[in-house]
Copies of this chain bind each other. A is one copy, B any other.
Amino acid sequence: MVVGSRDKVRAAAVKLFADKGFHGTGIRDLAQAANLSSASLYHYMGTKEELLAEIMRESLERLLEAAALATDGVADPRLRLGNLVALHVITHASQPSETRVVDNEVHALSPAAKKTIVGLRDSYELLWAEAIDAGIVAGVFHTGQPVVTRLALLEMCSGVARWYSPRGTLTLDQLAAHYAELVMRALGCLDVGEQPDLKHCRTLVSKVWNVRIYPTPSPTTTLNGDASRP
């Protein structure tokens, strides 16, 4: 697929910001990675910080949109949360750079941009909070600290972006299913009910990110024995 320079700048920025951090990435690094001069970058972006803010906002909006679709019409709190977990894990495993930028570079934003980004993040986390609270009310989840538990589970699921490698033996579906089980167990959910709709979640991630997602670890199956860490 031939991509325009604008997309190349975006892609290079995502990768570099994720790997070296916003302040660790220079304009010239960005230009080199995008095969442009540093001057040409400014035809496709505002300031470096505006580029970061746009990347973060787009990523969060995609996640938020996918999450809304993944829970749309789902009544059972267990399935709502299960789908949220599956979507979150698949997103973080298949788009680790984007999600790591969102999770780790908030500190580099100006106060105004930070307000927008944190607001979007809070909107997303509200979906989790509502599902957990509904499950408690329905008597299927059991925890004395719903807020703390939600933060703990979110951190657990986001962590996938920091260690998952598609070269391991686990498929995305296996990974998502395993995390859904961990979450259900942590919430003291004995009868887990319906399983998360992994196929639907995979499709949603494919659509909002406009990428191919394979249920298997990678197009050419590897024989690597274990999950790896960077």
Contact = CB atoms under 8 A, between A and B. Distances in A.
Contacts of A151: 159, 163, 227, 229
A191 interface: no
Contacts of A157: 152
Contacts of A182: 149, 152, 186
A155 interface: yes
Nearest to A105: B21
A76 to B, nearest CB: 20
A19 interface: yes
A222 interface: no
Contacts of A2: none
A227 B21 contact: no
Interface stretch (A59-67, A140-148, A195-203, A206-214): A140-148
A221 to B, nearest CB: 18
Interface in A144-168: 144-145, 147-149, 151-160, 162-163
A61 to B, nearest CB: 20
A28 interface: no
Contact of A159 (B144, B156, B226): B156
Contacts of A37: none
A-side interface size class: 35 or more
A59 to B, nearest CB: 18
Contact of A178 (B22, B148, B153): B148
A188 interface: yes
A106 to B, nearest CB: 8
Contacts of A4: none
A26 to B, nearest CB: 10
Nearest to A151: B163
B23 A147 contact: no
Interface string A24-45: 1000000000000000000000
Given A151-B229, A159-B159, A185-B187, 11 more contacts: A21-B21, A22-B23, A22-B24, A148-B175, A149-B182, A151-B163, A151-B227, A152-B156, A152-B179, A153-B156, A156-B156
Interface of A: 19-24, 104, 107-108, 144-145, 147-149, 151-160, 162-163, 170, 175, 178-179, 182, 185-188, 226-227, 229
